[in-house]
Amino acid sequence: MKRREHNAFQSACVFLTLLTILFIGGNIAVIAFRGIRSLPECLHQRETLFAVYLSVKSACISSILCFVLSIAVSYVLTKTRLFCREAIEILLELTMSLPNIVLGLSMLILFSSPMGKALKGAGFPVVFNSSGIVLAQLVVNLPFAVKLTSTAFREVDQKLERVAGLLGATQGKCFFTILLPLCKNALISAFILVWSRALGEFGATLMLVGVTRMKTETLPASIYLDVSTNDLGGALASAFILLLISAVSLGIANHFAKANRSLSRYEM
Amino acid sequence: MRCNMNGLLEIQELTVKRGSFLLEHINFSLQENEIFSIIGKTGSGKTLLLEAIAGFYQPDQGKVLYGGTAMCEIPAFQRNIGYLYQDYSLFPHMTAFSNIAYGPKMRGVSKAEIQTGVTEIAEQLEIRHILNQYPGTLSGGEQQRVALARALIMRPSLLLLDEPFSALDPVTKRSMYDMIRKIRKDFGCSLVFVTHNFTEAESLADRIGVLIDGHLCGIVKSQDLYSAQWGREVLDFLGITEKDGRDCRDERGTL
């Protein structure tokens, strides 16, 4: 009787798994099969090439900025005694659970204030400007990057850092000689994931910089514009490019994450 | 702030709370070149005490004085103490050579001096043949020797060892006992080691402290471990029946 119950439960789980794969796989298959057909034609269009260039460029800049900041924040959160650590963690998690469009709205208000105008006067326009794309991607990805880097830092055995300290390493030296090499692969993997997310960011970007052809047109924005103008082929081609980049970056990220697991204690 | 003290290390009324565990009112001092062992059951607070001595935790009460200064006030990189964890905590991304050379490198010693120093200590600890290997490829005994070499190359005044022999086979254990005696003789440092094995505490230490549930029940010379007037808890731990004082240890000398 128990065995039959066990089998029924397992069969139900397998059925639901197949249903999930079918649902997700179906979406990917639509983009892959229909997008690839429109791709050759779209690759010759200036708009598509501009969107790819702007997306990759802004994703690279925002991911580097995001990582520098997230490493500093994660170090403070995981390695120092901070009385308000929990409050900072809650704040970061809160922004992570907010819709991107809300974050974009708050940034729009912030950078439309006298401070934003002063920034514009100083030669750094944010609102409705391509530099705003970097900031939108940054604000959306920062909590996510902090989460990933904090996890990577926490996975390094604290005893190693204590021993390094007793052997004469200052905190800075300990960071560069022990912590960073030991979570190098996890950080690379996290960077790629953050970059991939930045590439696909749309909500916050839409609110802060709008969608203007050949000005603030990232790949997701290009999809939005193409659908708005009834150019389904163009939208699917841009979606296919995004799918391709995401698949490659996910593969690389998984490779580094796997390498990091094998680097963990005494498995070199 | 410097205080008057007796010996190399003095622990005064040390109280440390970690979660629900409390290490309370610990008092003892350590002389130069002395081997001191702390014995106690698993979960009695031995490692916590050792880590508190090393200054990894700020005491809730009391002091750990090292050379007259509170341990926590000395920056970790200036403490001049060695710490050997139960799992040796070798840096997995470095070879045995780089592990041993890590301390001198951090202190800015020249490459030539590091090379000489590492070779010398590797010969003393008989690990020269494994210097190019990564920790993951070494046996437990070899890892322990590398960890010892890494600590000893800094010429520490105090070496703290957390259950140093628990993961070793009997033959390696015996050779490591000799190694510890040799370290005391050659390097002139004081050693504190924690263990739950009475035999190794008796045979290696000058004095033994018994720690039960976060309380240091007493300190005796190692030869007096079984003849001292202990309370019921320690007698139970040592396996001595209160009635006839008979030694009830098993053949291995462990509980």
Q: Spell out the domains of chain B, with CATH numbers in brackets.
A: 1-80+158-255 (3.40.50.300), 84-155 (no CATH)
Q: What is the DSSP secondary-structure string of A56-81?
A: HHHHHHHHHHHHHHHHHHHHHHHHS-
Q: What is the pLDDT of residues B171-195, one digit of tens each?
A: 888 888 888 888 888 888 999 999 9
- Domain membership of residue A3 (yes or no) is no
- Does B18 touch chain A if contact means CB atoms closer than 8 Å? no
DSSP annotation of B82 reads: E
- Domain membership of residue A44 (yes or no) is yes
pLDDT on residue A154: 93
Picking from A167, A264, A266, the nearest residue to B102 by CB comes out as A167
Q: What is the pLDDT of residues B50-76, one digit of tens each?
A: 999 999 888 999 989 998 888 988 888
- Domain membership of residue A14 (yes or no) is no
| B67 Cβ contact partners less than 8 Å away, ≥ 6 residues apart | B8, B157
Classify B88 in phi/psi space as left (phi over 0), alpha (psi -120 to 50) or beta.
left
Alpha-carbon Rg for chain A in angstroms: 22
Q: Which of A222, A250, A234 is nearest to A34 (CA)?
A: A234
CB contact under 8 A, A181 and B93: yes
- The answer to whether B5 and B14 are in contact (CB under 8 A) is no
Provide φ and ψ at B152, rounded to 5°: -75, -25
The CATH number of residue A141's host domain is 1.10.3720.10
Written as six digits, the tokens of A94 are 């809160």
- Domain membership of residue A34 (yes or no) is no
Pairing status of strand B190-195 against strand B158-162? parallel
CA distances from residue B230 to A192, B200, B255 in whole angstroms, order as listed: 62, 20, 17
Amino acid at B119: T
A88 has pLDDT over 60: yes
Distance linking the first and last C-alpha atoms of chain B: 43
Number of compact structural domains in chain A: 1
pLDDT on residue A152: 93
Q: Work out the pLDDT band at B234, boundaries 50, 70, 90.
A: confident
- Domain membership of residue A173 (yes or no) is yes
Q: Work out the pLDDT band at A260, boundaries 50, 70, 90.
A: low
Q: What is the pLDDT of residues A7-42, one digit of tens each?
A: 889 999 999 999 999 999 999 999 999 888 888 888
Q: How far is the C-alpha of B89 from the C-alpha of B68, rounded, in Å?
A: 29
- Does A168 touch chain B if contact means CB atoms closer than 8 Å? yes
Q: Percentage of chain A surpassing pLDDT 70?
A: 96
- Does A170 touch chain B if contact means CB atoms closer than 8 Å? yes
- Domain membership of residue A255 (yes or no) is yes
Q: Work out the pLDDT band at B231, boundaries 50, 70, 90.
A: confident
Nearest CA of chain A to the CA of B51: how many Å? 10
Written as six digits, the tokens of A123 are 């030669």
- Does A182 touch chain B if contact means CB atoms closer than 8 Å? yes
- The answer to whether B25 and B14 are in contact (CB under 8 A) is yes
| ipTM of this complex | 0.85
Classify B214 in phi/psi space as left (phi over 0), alpha (psi -120 to 50) or beta.
left
Q: How far is the C-alpha of B111 from the C-alpha of B136, rounded, in Å?
A: 25
- Domain membership of residue A184 (yes or no) is yes
Query: Contacts of residue B151 in chain A, CB cutoff 8 Å?
Result: 167
Query: H-helix or E-strand containing B138?
Result: none
Q: Domain span at residue A237?
A: 40-263
Written as six digits, the tokens of A241 are 């490019």
Its pTM stands at: 0.82
- The residue whose two tokens read 């709205």 is A105
CB pairs under 8 A between A and B: 67
- Domain membership of residue A29 (yes or no) is no
